[in-house]
Amino acid sequence: MAIKSFNITVCASGGGGNFRSLAKHQFDCGYRISLLVVDRECFAIDVAKEYGIPYTVLYRKFLNKSFFEEFEKVIPVDTSLIVLAGFLPIIPKWICEKWERRIINIHPSLLPEYGGKGMYGVKVQEAVLRNHEKYAGCTVHYVDEGIDTGEIIIQKRIFVAEDESAWELGGRVFNEEIKLLPLAVKKIREEQLRFALDAVSDMKPSPLVSICCLTYNHAPYLRQCLDGFMMQERTFPIEILIHDDASTDGTQDIIREYEEKFPDIIKPQYQAENQYSKGKMVEAYNYFRAEGRYIALCEGDDYWTDPQKLQKQVDFLESYPDYVMCSHRYRIYFQQEQRMNDEITPIAHLSDGISFDLSFLVRGGWVAHPLSVVFRKSVLDLDAYSKYAMSIDAILFYTLLKKGKGYCMPDVMAVYRVHDTGVWSGLDMNNQRLFSIKARRIIYDIERTDEAALFVLSQFSRPMGRTLILKRCGLFVKLTKILISHFGVCCISRMWFNRLFLNKRLCVNELNQIEDFSKSKKRRR
């Protein structure tokens, strides 16, 4: 069943603390703020500008009685929920009825206590202290025609400390508010999704996500991989497509075991002969039979660690249609040493996640591994993709990012296993680089664009032995011809000299300079 984007409109009147928290947690909580509405000039507007969120100012003191008529006009038609985040005007009955159970508010008390007219801000905490309450807290509730009388959605309770002031208590309550409000929106969204799924429970729903798993002699690791799939907590149906490339070590027996347990979910395909050794794009076997709107990737020797992984990524892609893929951070496990790497990959600039595009990729940027990726099936042209005829991440990501942006979540949600029998991890560094160069050349042979040529060139920004290319004269000559035709003799000669004789890698600035030179040369023509 399709899941529509969960768009919210936020209303505020003051400092924008709760609004900032809502904006910050859009990605991980699965909603999108489509509009901020304020009734005066306030700091919430600055937050909207910071996060690139559209906003509207309805000056209540000027509009007076017509305020809510104008208010209703500006609410986007695709709004799933209106969130009051420190919004002072009292919502009239006719709007409450029209938007029944689709308007929520946060209040700084444990409702139904200390709600109603006159109970706002520090006045609430003064009343709590005056009555010697043991607990204070905050509540998110649905808005009805009364003041703070709507159905409670979620609450957070804290102890009242001795000798603290109303302002100190209010500060601690607010710290809980900014955590609670995004969670409440997430909760409502998930409840709506569950309701929608329950409504069609008598039908066999189509999978929203197709998990595509490749296996070959993964018997020691496969159970951990499949358990990672089955532990996913989700509000949508999935299918698990397993392509086994003629394993000989008991992998197929494990697949059959799980297929018996989960026959409606696990859908294997067994090869009698190894297809990868014949040069086949083995991942395409799963892509062609995938029924989901989204495709998630993980090979049988890797595994997922977060039960919310798929939900988080699908929520993001549903909320942001201009993104075509979503990845996340992961750890590396060295099987032979039985050691988990201390580093988290990728590590750069990811405290709050990072967006990336094709330009970032072709300049040597890398923020994804297949085990972390969920992408829209609609952006993968299988006929065009099959023309590349090579199974490697660079080709897949290049074809996806031609259609839109990618996003890497800061969450660490999977483990990549390095072992001697791994198709990729079992290769030494030089062979890995050689594969990458060949992949980029294949892309160039089909695309023949400056961008594809730059993707070839960016490989030389990575560590590489001096003799790797020189030993392969034919490849060296072909690459040189490609690069000279796009970027000129001088640029490429200098690059080869620095690379082969000084062992100097290209930096991003140099790549940008080379591309700029190419563009200026074309303009002169």
What average pLDDT does this structure show over 391-419?
89
- CA–CA distance, 236 with 82 (Å, rounded to integer): 24
Nearest to 298 by CA among 369, 357, 390, 349: 369
| pLDDT band with cut points at 50, 70 and 90 for residue 2 | very low
Q: Residue 243 to residues 214, 270, 288, 508: CA-CA distances in angstroms?
A: 5, 6, 12, 38
513 within some domain: yes
pLDDT in tens, 224-233: 999 999 999 8
Question: Same domain for 265 and 240?
Answer: yes
Question: Same domain for 369 and 470?
Answer: no
pLDDT in tens, 75-119: 998 899 999 998 988 999 999 999 999 999 999 999 999 999 888
The residues assigned a catalytic role are: 107
Question: Same domain for 194 and 214?
Answer: no
Q: What is the pLDDT of residue 521?
A: 53
241 within some domain: yes
Question: Same domain for 491 and 435?
Answer: yes
- CA–CA distance, 373 with 365 (Å, rounded to integer): 16
- CA–CA distance, 360 with 439 (Å, rounded to integer): 17
Among 141, 167, 199, the domain boundary falls at 199
Question: Same domain for 104 and 246?
Answer: no
- Provide the residue range defining the domain that includes 470: 429-524
Question: Same domain for 213 and 188?
Answer: no
Among 181, 199, 217, the domain boundary falls at 199
Number of structural domains the chain divides into: 3
**% of residues, the chain, pLDDT over 90:** 51
Among 156, 177, 199, the domain boundary falls at 199
| Segment among 162-171, 194-203, 342-351 with least mean pLDDT | 194-203
Q: What is the pLDDT of residue 63?
A: 87
pLDDT in tens, 509-524: 556 666 655 555 554 4
Q: What is the pLDDT of residue 113?
A: 93
217 within some domain: yes
Reading phi first (left if > 0) and then psi (alpha if -120 to 50, else beta), residue 498 is in alpha
Question: Same domain for 399 and 272?
Answer: yes
Residue 506, pLDDT > 70, answer no
| pLDDT band with cut points at 50, 70 and 90 for residue 329 | very high
Question: Same domain for 85 and 157?
Answer: yes
355 within some domain: yes
Residue type for position 285: Y
The reported pTM is 0.62
Q: What is the pLDDT of residue 88?
A: 86
Question: Same domain for 406 and 272?
Answer: yes
Please answer whether residues 246 and 273 qualify as being in contact, where contact means their C-beta atoms are separated by less than 8 angstroms: yes
